[in-house]
A and B are shown apart, each in its own frame.
Chain A
Amino acid sequence: MTTLTQEPARTTAGRPRENSLAGTGKLVRFNLRRDRIKLPAWLFGMFLFVFYYGAALPQLYQTEEDLQVVTEFTQGAMGAIIAGPGFGLDDPTIESVIAGVYGLYFLLLAALMNILLVSRHTRVEEQTGRAELIRANVVGRHAPVTAALIIAVVANVLLALLVAAAMAAADLDTSDALLFGAGIGAVGLVWAGVTVLTVQVSAFSRAGSGLAGAALGAAYVIRAAGDTITEGGSLLSWFSPLAWSQQTRPYADGRWWPLLLSVAFAAVTAAIGYVLSTRRDVGAGLVAPRRGSPTAPAWLRSPLSFAFRLQRAGLIGWGAALVVAAAVYGGITGPIVDAFEDLPETMIDVMGGDPSRLLDGYVSTMALSFAIVLAVFVILGLLGARGEETKGRAEPVLATATSRSAWLGGHIAVIAAGVAVLLAVSGLVLGIATAVSVGDAAYVWDTTAAHLVYVPALLVLLGIAVLLFGFVPGAVGATWAVFGFATIIGFFGPIMDLPQWVHNLSPIEHVARLPLEEISWTPLVILTVVAAGLIGLGLYGFGRRDLDTK
């Protein structure tokens, strides 16, 4: 490759033909150097992920019967949606469970790795203006894209080999390990090609990777629908690149030819990307950026409505994801609870400790899970406000007639109301889906209530974050430690031998697990008062400290 950069091809007559790939080799080396941490981290992480399953599952499922229980989960429509066609699960082995049940998640991760990889070496470079520096040199028109693709191909080959190596390292059957790995690498390759195409569309990398992500979502939905129609996948499934890798049937009756489709598809999408890239200027997109309103809507006029405007997109995204998750987890309640019949004792403890009320235990565990997921929303929300401050966007707002407490209070109010609404919505959807699944309408209200009781505990977490914001703003991230502690105590506290006062340190621990337990109001009132106190103190601290400026 490097020799190409030295000697422009000369022809005896006419203008010498330009070498549009000049400099590709140097760019590959340059990009590999810039990726020296990120790319190995991704590849090694995927290796560990596969190895972890390979090593952990044999411990978890020691007998044939244990494996049968797992695969019962993944049969029928729900299995088709969350796992795939599930080849080889009729007669399950550890290997076929990894490929058939967990394999889909490796495919999604491989796609994600490639979307980010191609995007950061193409559109991100153009958007930041660095590509201009590069392209002003002896670098051909197609060199940056080609360099990114070469790295993607190498990375996906390595990924395939590492997945196979992980299976071997976990001491599993290696007969189809390379096929399993190749399927994962093939999905990576497809999304490298797709991303080369999508980054041409908009001038902004977020739109480019967003489009590639949307294609991934569409591929998932098409595959899920196709696999639901017919066991083992229908014609519809074959319209999804994810299905091609799954249809190689590793550890069932393995076959390589579906991967030809993946390679061809990657080549075609990348080729379209190349053609499109010659029809636009450096730094520009094929589509002009969308323009917005020249004036602000009338409701956007207070610190509160502004905080809502800033968090609106996040609230919608969280809401949509939670509704889908709640519908799925509610919908599978019936079969899951049946499968729980012969759970080991420790699992029963985690699920509330009462083997006769496993359904209630499941609902209360789901409520706890949603509450913990929403703790992430709370912390990210306040980190968002902190970002407004450190990125210099709070400064012009606080230079208007907006007080510190109104500005921060607006953000706090939106987060608090958001958490309450999101908990209510997840609870209601989970409740309805559960009620339908088990045929008991009482679960609609019970499940909603089971979620809503976590509002005060999450407000305490918000209060801790606000307190840090007010007094040690650099340490708002430390709220993650509280979150981690509450998560571990919440899920594994029942089976850990810890003194009661340690349990009491977690705000979530004081909430009654409905519908398993009776609601107790006193802790909820106390948690609310504590939250209000923490928030008040944090606001006071923020009113007295310097604003952090750029």
Chain B
Amino acid sequence: MTTAIATAGLVKTFGPTRALDGLDLTVQAGEVHGFLGPNGAGKSTTIRVLLGLLRADSGQVTMLGGDPWHDAVTLHRRLAYVPGDVELWPNLTGGEAIDLLGRLRGGLNKARRDELIDRFDLDPRKKGRTYSKGNRQKVAIVAALASDAELLLLDEPTAGLDPLMEVVFQDVINQMKTEGRTVLLSSHILAQVEKLADRISIIRLGKIVQSGTLAEMRHLTRTTIEAHTATPVSGLDNLAGIHDAEVSDGRVSFAVDGEHLDAAVRHLSSFGIRALTSHPPTLEELMLRHYGDELAANANGNGADR
């Protein structure tokens, strides 16, 4: 597998703010890579450095075998971009904007364009100023996905889409994946990344704090168990890797580290399980673990806005 994007020690400052603080991001060719982090973590800055719109202060970047700053125009023929906050030209229709952006990239696939307009239920005859946020987003998505670009840089592409359109979007991205394209998908909508991404990287304060497949990350974290038992559960305290256990009157709930899950379930079954639910760790919980120190530091416990 070749590497589509590789950054090492990327630093970008805006005045006193360190937007990127030694970012190491690796995206393999042909994968959908989820790029997760809260607002202001540095996702958009990273993507703009990859696009050569911003120049990194230090560190290395390689994308599709080139340098995003020096080889911008050559590289841009091979990639497509959806900005997080899409602005359109007030006097141009959506269709005109799609055609223009496609032509400036070096051509677009007409059949695919029409198919996407149809699937996203977009009216291409409306003027830019009359589109809602969601529809502006659709224009940018169609313009990007109608190309034959091998790399897609998508910055929170579905922030304004309704759930139905999000399903369409997921379909299209999966189709892209089977065609062997590489996708960098940034989001703070965690469920979306969960469904699409082969691997994810979590960015926080301009650094990648964790990177890997979802399975790898889940292994490192806890599963939540809730159960009804015939007889009251006891002895949980003696088991390793159990957290936040609560036992009351035939009900029990606790979180257990991935490696101790087997032992915990065996122990439970000796009390006669009547009902059992288990949650794999959600990405929210993954993120909360990385933001846990901020939560602890915040007396109100409202530090993380997810």
Judged by a CB distance under 8 angstroms, whether A549 is at the interface is yes
Q: Mark B237-253, 1 if CB is under 8 A from A, else 0.
A: 00000000000000000
Judged by a CB distance under 8 angstroms, whether B18 is at the interface is no
A301 shortest CB reach to chain B, Å: 4
Could you tell me if A313 and B91 are in contact, using CB atoms closer than 8 angstroms? yes
Could you tell me if B127 and A400 are in contact, using CB atoms closer than 8 angstroms? no
The residue on A at minimum CB distance from B96 is: A296
Whole-angstrom CA separation of A398 from B53 in the bound complex:
8
Judged by a CB distance under 8 angstroms, whether B104 is at the interface is yes
Could you tell me if B89 and A393 are in contact, using CB atoms closer than 8 angstroms? yes
Q: Mark A159-176, 1 if CB is under 8 A from B, else 0.
A: 000000000000000000
Could you tell me if B89 and A310 are in contact, using CB atoms closer than 8 angstroms? yes
Could you tell me if B95 and A546 are in contact, using CB atoms closer than 8 angstroms? no
Could you tell me if A301 and B96 are in contact, using CB atoms closer than 8 angstroms? no
Q: Which of A495-534 contact B (CB under 8 A)?
A: none
Judged by a CB distance under 8 angstroms, whether A346 is at the interface is no
Could you tell me if A289 and B130 are in contact, using CB atoms closer than 8 angstroms? yes
Judged by a CB distance under 8 angstroms, whether A547 is at the interface is yes
Q: Mark A237-251, 1 if CB is under 8 A from B, else 0.
A: 000000000000000
The residue on B at minimum CB distance from A546 is: B54
Judged by a CB distance under 8 angstroms, whether B189 is at the interface is no
* Residue in A391, A398, A400, A550 whose Cβ sees the most chain B Cβ within 10 Å: A400
Whole-angstrom CA separation of A291 from B127 in the bound complex:
7
B168: chain A residues within 8 A (beta carbon): none
Could you tell me if B54 and A391 are in contact, using CB atoms closer than 8 angstroms? no
B72: chain A residues within 8 A (beta carbon): 403
The residue on A at minimum CB distance from B89 is: A393
Judged by a CB distance under 8 angstroms, whether A401 is at the interface is yes
Q: Mark B90-115, 1 if CB is under 8 A from A, else 0.
A: 01110111111101111000000000
A549: chain B residues within 8 A (beta carbon): 44, 48, 53-54
The residue on B at minimum CB distance from A204 is: B129
Could you tell me if B89 and A291 are in contact, using CB atoms closer than 8 angstroms? no
Judged by a CB distance under 8 angstroms, whether A402 is at the interface is yes
A318 shortest CB reach to chain B, Å: 16
Whole-angstrom CA separation of A309 from B103 in the bound complex:
15
| Residues of chain B at interface, number, CB under 8 A | 44
B140: chain A residues within 8 A (beta carbon): 396
Whole-angstrom CA separation of A544 from B44 in the bound complex:
20
Whole-angstrom CA separation of A289 from B74 in the bound complex:
40
A295: chain B residues within 8 A (beta carbon): 95-96, 99, 124
Partner of A399, one of B81, B91, B130: B81
Could you tell me if B76 and A400 are in contact, using CB atoms closer than 8 angstroms? yes
Could you tell me if A401 and B73 are in contact, using CB atoms closer than 8 angstroms? yes
Judged by a CB distance under 8 angstroms, whether B55 is at the interface is yes
Could you tell me if B77 and A393 are in contact, using CB atoms closer than 8 angstroms? no
Could you tell me if A296 and B127 are in contact, using CB atoms closer than 8 angstroms? no
Judged by a CB distance under 8 angstroms, whether A474 is at the interface is no
A300 shortest CB reach to chain B, Å: 6
Could you tell me if A291 and B126 are in contact, using CB atoms closer than 8 angstroms? yes
Whole-angstrom CA separation of A309 from B93 in the bound complex:
12
Whole-angstrom CA separation of A303 from B48 in the bound complex:
20
Could you tell me if B73 and A296 are in contact, using CB atoms closer than 8 angstroms? no
A483 shortest CB reach to chain B, Å: 27
Contacts between the two chains (Cβ within 8 Å), count: 112
Q: Which of B42-75 contact A (CB under 8 A)?
A: 44, 48, 51, 53-55, 72-74
Partner of B101, one of A293, A294, A397, A547: A397
Whole-angstrom CA separation of A292 from B92 in the bound complex:
8
Could you tell me if A289 and B126 are in contact, using CB atoms closer than 8 angstroms? yes
Could you tell me if B83 and A395 are in contact, using CB atoms closer than 8 angstroms? yes
The residue on A at minimum CB distance from B104 is: A400
Partner of A291, one of B48, B92, B125: B125
Judged by a CB distance under 8 angstroms, whether A306 is at the interface is yes
Judged by a CB distance under 8 angstroms, whether B284 is at the interface is no
Could you tell me if A293 and B104 are in contact, using CB atoms closer than 8 angstroms? no
Judged by a CB distance under 8 angstroms, whether A392 is at the interface is yes
A296 and B103 in contact, given A396-B81, A546-B53, A547-B53 (Cβ under 8 angstroms): yes
B53: chain A residues within 8 A (beta carbon): 395, 398-399, 546-547, 549
Could you tell me if B89 and A293 are in contact, using CB atoms closer than 8 angstroms? no
Q: Which of B9-52 contact A (CB under 8 A)?
A: 44, 48, 51
A293: chain B residues within 8 A (beta carbon): 93, 95-96, 125
Could you tell me if A393 and B54 are in contact, using CB atoms closer than 8 angstroms? no
A305 shortest CB reach to chain B, Å: 9
Could you tell me if A291 and B76 are in contact, using CB atoms closer than 8 angstroms? no
Could you tell me if A296 and B100 are in contact, using CB atoms closer than 8 angstroms? yes
A355 shortest CB reach to chain B, Å: 51
B101: chain A residues within 8 A (beta carbon): 396-397, 400
Whole-angstrom CA separation of A290 from B101 in the bound complex:
23
Could you tell me if A294 and B54 are in contact, using CB atoms closer than 8 angstroms? no
Could you tell me if B85 and A392 are in contact, using CB atoms closer than 8 angstroms? yes
A550 and B104 in contact, given A400-B76, A401-B77 (Cβ under 8 angstroms): no
Partner of B93, one of A292, A310, A546, A550: A292
B103: chain A residues within 8 A (beta carbon): 296, 300-301
Could you tell me if A392 and B95 are in contact, using CB atoms closer than 8 angstroms? no
A303 and B104 in contact, given A292-B127, A546-B55 (Cβ under 8 angstroms): yes
Judged by a CB distance under 8 angstroms, whether B217 is at the interface is no
The residue on A at minimum CB distance from B102 is: A400
A406 shortest CB reach to chain B, Å: 8
Q: Mark A434-476, 1 if CB is under 8 A from B, else 0.
A: 0000000000000000000000000000000000000000000
Judged by a CB distance under 8 angstroms, whether B171 is at the interface is no
Whole-angstrom CA separation of A400 from B99 in the bound complex:
12
Whole-angstrom CA separation of A521 from B105 in the bound complex:
43
Enumerate 28 A-B pairs (CB-CB under 8 Å) in ascending A order: A204-B129, A289-B130, A291-B126, A292-B126, A293-B95, A296-B96, A296-B99, A306-B100, A395-B83, A396-B83, A396-B86, A396-B101, A396-B143, A398-B51, A399-B76, A399-B79, A399-B153, A400-B104, A400-B105, A401-B73, A401-B74, A402-B73, A545-B55, A546-B55, A547-B53, A547-B54, A549-B44, A549-B48
Binding site for B on A (CB under 8 A): 203-204, 289-296, 300-303, 306, 309-310, 313, 391-393, 395-403, 544-547, 549-550
